[in-house]
Amino acid sequence: MPDLGAYAVEVLSAYAVSLSLIVGIVLLTALRGRRVKRQLEEMERRRG
């Protein structure tokens, strides 16, 4: 790991926040995709 000096806490905190946000966005996208897929399948089933 590179020497981050006096700003190690700030830099690592920024990385942690960024990673958390990316993971959250990916999870929300996957959940929404599943929901939309179920809705589409239901609409197709009703249409026949």
Every domain of the chain and the residues it spans: 5-47
Q: Given this model, what pLDDT does residue 31 score? A: 98
Provide the 3-class DSSP secondary structure of residue 3. coil
Task: Tell me the pLDDT tens digit for each residue of 1-44.
Answer: 678 889 999 999 999 999 999 999 999 999 999 999 999 999 99
| Tokens linked to 9 | 């806490």
Helix intervals (H) in the chain: 8-47
Q: What pLDDT is attached to residue 18?
A: 98
What local confidence, expressed as pLDDT, does residue 27 receive?
A: 98
Q: Is the pLDDT of residue 48 over 80?
A: no
Model pTM score: 0.75
User: With the CA atoms of 6, 10, 12 and 13 taken in that order, what torsion angle do they form, in degrees rounded to the nearest 10?
Assistant: 160
Q: Which tokens go with 47? A: 């249409």
